[in-house]
Amino acid sequence: MNEVIKTIHGRRSVRAFKDKELKKEDLDAILECARYAPSAMNAQNWHFTAIRDSASIEKVNGWIVTEIKESRNPNLEGILERSNGKVFRNAPCLVVVSSEKADRFGVINASAATQNMLLAAHSLGIGSCWIGTVGILGTSKRADYYATELGIPKGYAPFFGVTLGYGASEGLEAPPRREGVVNII
């Protein structure tokens, strides 16, 4: 198997991290891979807010906890329960991925960039997880405040988070993959 295919197969969602800072050069390499994702009509209409300071990550976590509690959405409340109120699982680094709200491809472009980050991280021995609950910040009545605090450009909204850090558990198993999702004509 070539290295890229090995990386794709081996990447797992990591939800427990060592208390160890992410190297700045590794973060830079991961963010550069995000910028090299494909985008519809080459719009590149994404923005990445990388947060390495634990107090700031905790602040964003607090915003999400508040929004989920106010939402009274049982699915979201379940996420909060499963993560013990720590949606970023004490990761030492968080990247908030934003894109242009008015572009119907915006969230798709942001997704391509997000997947590039996950794969780049795994190739560097860094654990990661795609955090969809960050999107709640973009639809909140406080969305403008959050966007200003995170330095998100006007007209853009946060869609995802990517947690990054050194995984605390070895040998994570891939959840079983659905069968019957391919046909070749």
Ligand X SMILES: Cc1cc2nc3c(=O)[nH]c(=O)nc-3n(C[C@H](O)[C@H](O)[C@H](O)COP(=O)(O)O)c2cc1C
β-bridge partners, 51: 94
Alpha helices in the chain (DSSP H): 3-10, 24-35, 54-71, 74-82, 106-123, 136-139, 143-150
- What is the sign, positive or negative, of the torsion defined by CA atoms of 150, 167, 25, 129? negative
**Is 54 an interacting residue with respect to ligand X (CB under 6 A)?**
no
Asked if residue 26 lies in contact with residue 175, where contact means CB atoms within 8 angstroms, the answer is no
Distance between CA atoms of 176 and 126, rounded to whole angstroms? 22
Pick one of 130, 149, 155, 168: the residue that binds ligand X (CB under 6 A).
130
Alpha helices in 36-71 (DSSP H): 54-71
The token pair at 166 is: 């050194």
Q: Mapping DSSP to helix (H, G, I), strand (E, B) and coil, where does residue 117 land?
A: helix
β-bridge partners, 158: 98
Count the site residues for ligand X by CB under 6 A: 11
Question: In this complex, which beta carbon is closest to ligand X, that of residue 176 or of residue 180?
Answer: 176
CB 87, min distance to ligand X, A? 7
State the binding string over 62-91 for ligand X (x if CB under 6 A, else -).
-----------------x------------
Q: State the residue number with the nearest CB to ligand X.
A: 132
| Range in contact with ligand X (rule: CB under 6 A) among 9-17, 19-27, 53-61, 142-150 | 9-17
CB 8, min distance to ligand X, A? 10
Among 85, 89, 106, residue whose Cα is nearest residue 97: 106
**Is 136 an interacting residue with respect to ligand X (CB under 6 A)?**
no
CB 3, min distance to ligand X, A? 19
CB 24, min distance to ligand X, A? 25
CB 51, min distance to ligand X, A? 16
**Is 7 an interacting residue with respect to ligand X (CB under 6 A)?**
no
Site of interaction with ligand X (CB under 6 A): 12-13, 15, 79, 129-133, 174-175
